[in-house]
Structure 1
């Protein structure tokens, strides 16, 4: 209104200056524009509602001035007549040459520029001082919402040549106002301390100097009030309300006092629960999805969870746009609520077509074979979620998005748009590392998880450490058959220097080749069968202990074996690396065929489970892991060959104890580990990202437990043959009382060269004979 009034006043002044001729009207023969510096004449004529040949008077002149002012380009406009020429004298508003910010930390410069550009204040735009004042007020409001009431925002406008200005906005943010007290009024059922526990905001605590919960924010207070309301509604207080909220600021604007007035009301119980409407799913099935039962306290969260569960169930049947409303009939005298779930499934929705975008290398067929939603079939939320999970588990994509837009003009048809963002699936690694067991290592590996976009995997590895020299090549055809049966072919050669791993002094050479087939049984279960041929050679050294020399004398030093392996795996994790929910289980039986040079079997079971702990931080999880393994001989072989024994201790099994040193040890060989035919391992660990953005790092406390047993050893016979019994005693049977336990903290980093693990651990029940290590680490690629 101010600008409009100014324009009218200017128009009247211009008319008066034009003289009586303007008032009486005159014919415009030509129009001349003066005073332009940056703006083109054509722009002026676009806004000027007068053309040559027209007869204009005071009304037309006033309208022309208003139109030019409304363009926002000019700060002064004057129209003059010179004979038949209309002279338009203009003074342009300056343009913004530079826009600078000083002192802003809470709100980044890029965000400020983006926000101001949205309201027309940006470099290259026309400068409007009134608009700048409005923006200053808005900036203060934004800081007030974040609890910074002592903020100061000042703008400096500096003129530049060619009718330009430079704007600098100086911001003194000041400290965030701290909450001194949260006072609750009107609560009788629950204590102040209990209700304050619902709030994210709280007064400062001396024992949590890193916390920001004492910093006031208007948005956080609004969230806390809703949490307070939910707390009461979830406990039956149907009529609870926050009657008023008062936030007072100290004179220095640094302390905040919050008073919340509440009306609790009375508790209500559920009288009856019913499901009605167009029930395309059997009503008893829908009723089973509702957790609330008659006689229980009314709980809004459980009531709403029932609605969501019904919608999800209908979505599985193709009713993607169903509506489930809960009608509440309240009996104020009896303080009861009757709940009626009114189901409106809507039209059943079918998929017209599936569109895939973003796959530059990966073939469409590789993606489509993982999809469980089919074209022409009813849209199923369960099938879509399974499809997303399967694509994520491939490891080919950094992001997977699935959208279901409706087909224009058709209420019962949707398209499924699958968009992916590919990640690098090929790796070329070369480097030097160190591990607490394998020592120094030099490694080279080249792998491609998505070979030329087919989804197949090819890898070639060369590894040379103090313990092992390994050459290995493998190829996996993930869809060897249309049913999803995978085939893996592998071959390699390995040299092992056991003494370098703190084992007995001998060398072991192995050449091998294997073929494995893996068959999907369900969405999360697979059965696998592998047949491996291995040619094994044991080489004695000067320090080879008598027990191994005796084995070579009796059994020979070279063994050719066929080793079948059957396994079952179940994987319900949400992701492959640092999962936060789900579990992974595996059960395997392997060994040799009857008649082999060495006849043995090995049975193992492993279980890992993850629980999300969002209250400790986003992507924080608890991991529990256990493993049981047992092996033995059969036929002419009395016990598990020593080179197939289990070992424990070290950063990958029981941290805090020296690598491989749990279990029986050979007293004749300086106490070197012998391993055993049975192994028990357990671990519990918190996986905490150090920052919310950290994707590849986790740290947290842990507790490990484990032991290795040899149930086939005869201590007396061993002493008779080799002069002394193994140590420590008591490990010739599985005794959980012999488990060794340690606690500590670990750091895991999924680096470009492989997983890096560091741990600080303290053994909790070690004996004098145990070998312990407080700090352990493993660096470099793992093989």
Structure 2
């Protein structure tokens, strides 16, 4: 009878708790707090829960759906938290909660109590291996990088990671049939778990026949030149993955798949199947856009893949915008000339450009040899020759007959360049570096009428701060120095600053040394820098707060830091498949009056 009363009492208590929880359903979750969480961080625990507290900006972001409490969801959250603690070595964890509603039951604070109990640590780690001494050396090499250490907190994730690392290491060393088994023995008295790994590598294997399927136009020999696998070579999963990436980066195929035919092994020889799908030989891309600087932008690109065979590419591109009324260029790319990843590029071009102080027609050709050093870096050497026709009738200048003769001039020279990109995303990087540096000497051959060198460097840095908030920074410098007795550099190659990609408190190319008549001369030295904080807003929308500073100076190697221009502003970004649409508003600083510049364009400022 006493036993029945106890059961009945427990049922009443449980029913009361359930009724209390369900009574809070649909209340706004105001706060979620924890007690007893000195080991795992609150932010990590919250990611395990579907119940979310209303953010601090909840009233401001009125368009977002308000988080409401659900007793059923919350019970599942508590179970998930318990499982998470157990996976991280706290097998005896106890989790309880208090629901603290306000007087009107419209808002709810949640207090979760964590009683972890004694944690389980890692005890002995033992390995058993079937195979030769060479196999033991492979195992010894991988043991050095495993995340398991005796005495550390027991965590399921690290056990699984270690098992995968052992399997991958043997795969890479020629053992595609390796079997790794783990067994865990809990010593309750010592609160420690002993872990045993049993490794059976199987037979060492080698690459067999390499079969290529799917090519119809591109020469098979040219494709196989980029296949880093050869019959009889020790099997390596790393080489398979590297070859797949190499083929796809040729930009000739829609997709590339490489499979090791493990079910068709013959005398430890693994056949390899490479299947490709070629891109269309002809393609046309048409683009139309609008920006506050360029106004209406239009472009058309014709591309012919495998032009004349051998993976060659021919492209013809035409563009129009306000500041570039006409630009036409053609590129012929011959890949792998003389050595792998060394490309030859022939680039005839014509462009008509207009600035406030001048207009220029450029007609010429460049010949480039470009070498890919790694997947993230490349270097090149380029020889450019052509003729520039400059019109300064828009300016207030009066020039001599001798100077007028220099407005139509031949130019030719050599450029050395290097670029590095370690960022994690093309359009919106969150971490990594970008570096680009060029050194040009003009005045080599073709009766080049100007002699000067030009050095440009730009470094961009991206760092994730917290919760998708990113710091982005840029610094850029440039120098032009006339040589061989020349008194000046060509006006069309000098530095003008300001605009959507430069100092955003000024209009496009509005920062420049000027003559007495007020015409922009362009600088022979420049420096600019920018800093941005990029942060998410809602869905595809994000924002930024930024500042820019810099200037251009008339003389070479002239950097007067007391003459820098400063601005600050705010921006809105809208994510699209072709990059973010950018809206920026900025104002110069320290001018004594407030005025703004507004920009709409595509892509980040850097």
TM-score range, shorter chain: 0.7 to 0.9
Q: Is the 8 A contact 2:481 2:524 kept in 1?
A: no
Q: Which residue, 392, 408, 411 being the options, matches 1:558?
A: 408
Q: Which residue, 379, 393, 410 being the options, matches 1:541?
A: 393
Q: Is the 8 A contact 1:569 1:587 kept in 2?
A: yes
Counterparts of 1:504-515 in structure 2, within 5 Å, are: 504=357, 506-515=358-367
Q: Which residue, 327, 330, 334 being the options, matches 1:477?
A: 334
Q: Which residue, 586, 598, 603 being the options, matches 1:762?
A: 586
Residue 369 of structure 2: aligned partner: 517
Q: Which residue, 299, 305, 308 being the options, matches 2:164?
A: 308
CA positional deviation for 1:257? 13
CA positional deviation for 1:564? 0.7
- Do structure 1's residue 586 and structure 2's residue 429 form an aligned pair? no
Change (3 A) 1:604 1:339: farther
Per-residue CA shift, 1:533-559, capped at 9, x if unaligned?
12223333153436xx47963983333
- Do structure 1's residue 679 and structure 2's residue 527 form an aligned pair? yes
Q: Is the 8 A contact 1:433 1:442 kept in 2?
A: yes
Residue 145 of structure 1: aligned partner: none
CA positional deviation for 1:475? 0.8
| In structure 1, distance between residues paired with 2:197 and 2:401 | 75
SS state at 1:305 partner? helix
| In structure 2, distance between residues paired with 1:528 and 1:297 | 51
- Do structure 1's residue 710 and structure 2's residue 537 form an aligned pair? no
CA positional deviation for 1:466? 3.5
| In structure 1, distance between residues paired with 2:95 and 2:78 | 15
Change (3 A) 1:199 1:461: closer
Larger Rg: 1
CA positional deviation for 1:335? 4.4
CA positional deviation for 1:451? 4.1
TM value normalised by structure 2: 0.73
SS state at 1:597 partner? coil
SS state at 2:597 partner? coil
Counterparts of 1:236-635 in structure 2, within 5 Å, are: 237-240=89-92, 264-270=116-122, 277=129, 279-282=135-138, 285-294=141-150, 296-325=152-181, 332-336=188-192, 342-357=198-213, 364=220, 367-408=223-264, 410=266, 412-420=268-276, 426-429=282-285, 433-441=289-297, 443-449=299-305, 451=307, 455-468=311-324, 469-481=326-338, 483-499=340-356, 504=357, 506-541=358-393, 543-545=395-397, 549=399, 553=403, 556-571=406-421, 584-593=434-443, 596-608=448-460, 626-635=475-484
Q: Which moved more, 1:358-367 or 1:471-480?
A: 358-367
| In structure 2, distance between residues paired with 1:763 and 1:204 | 37
- Select the structure that is richer in helix: 1
Matched residue count:
562
Residue 84 of structure 2: aligned partner: 230
Q: Is the 8 A contact 2:453 2:481 kept in 1?
A: yes
Q: Which residue, 696, 715, 733 being the options, matches 2:560?
A: 733
Q: Considering only aligned residues, what root-mean-square deviation do their CA atoms show, in Å?
A: 5.0
Change (3 A) 1:428 1:409: closer
Q: Is the 8 A contact 2:138 2:170 kept in 1?
A: no
Change (3 A) 1:542 1:659: closer
- Do structure 1's residue 668 and structure 2's residue 516 form an aligned pair? yes
SS state at 1:543 partner? coil
CA positional deviation for 1:709? 3.0
| In structure 2, distance between residues paired with 1:476 and 1:517 | 10
CA positional deviation for 1:489? 0.6
| In structure 1, distance between residues paired with 2:27 and 2:215 | 50
Change (3 A) 1:191 1:528: closer
| In structure 1, distance between residues paired with 2:38 and 2:289 | 62
Change (3 A) 1:742 1:359: farther
Change (3 A) 1:687 1:184: closer
Bigger RCO of structures 1 and 2 (CA < 8 A, at least 6 apart): 2
Q: Is the 8 A contact 1:592 1:600 kept in 2?
A: yes
Q: Is the 8 A contact 1:687 1:698 kept in 2?
A: no
Q: Is the 8 A contact 1:389 1:574 kept in 2?
A: no
Per-residue CA shift, 1:147-191, capped at 9, x if unaligned?
xxxxxxxxxxxxxxxxxxxxxxxxxxxxx9889799999968679
Q: Which residue, 773, 776, 782 being the options, matches 2:597?
A: 773
TM value normalised by structure 1: 0.59
| In structure 1, distance between residues paired with 2:536 and 2:507 | 26
Q: Is the 8 A contact 2:588 2:596 kept in 1?
A: no
| In structure 2, distance between residues paired with 1:218 and 1:654 | 54
SS state at 1:384 partner? helix
| In structure 2, distance between residues paired with 1:744 and 1:477 | 42
| In structure 1, distance between residues paired with 2:209 and 2:543 | 46
Q: Is the 8 A contact 1:451 1:458 kept in 2?
A: yes
Q: Is the 8 A contact 1:201 1:215 kept in 2?
A: no
SS state at 2:157 partner? helix
CA positional deviation for 1:476? 0.9
| In structure 1, distance between residues paired with 2:600 and 2:212 | 46
CA positional deviation for 1:486? 0.9
| In structure 1, distance between residues paired with 2:432 and 2:215 | 28
Change (3 A) 1:238 1:442: closer
| In structure 2, distance between residues paired with 1:391 and 1:614 | 36
- Do structure 1's residue 199 and structure 2's residue 48 form an aligned pair? yes
Residue 743 of structure 1: aligned partner: 570
Per-residue CA shift, 1:620-661, capped at 9, x if unaligned?
988665544443333324565432223333223344542223
Q: Is the 8 A contact 2:29 2:67 kept in 1?
A: no
Q: Is the 8 A contact 1:497 1:507 kept in 2?
A: yes
Residue 83 of structure 1: aligned partner: none
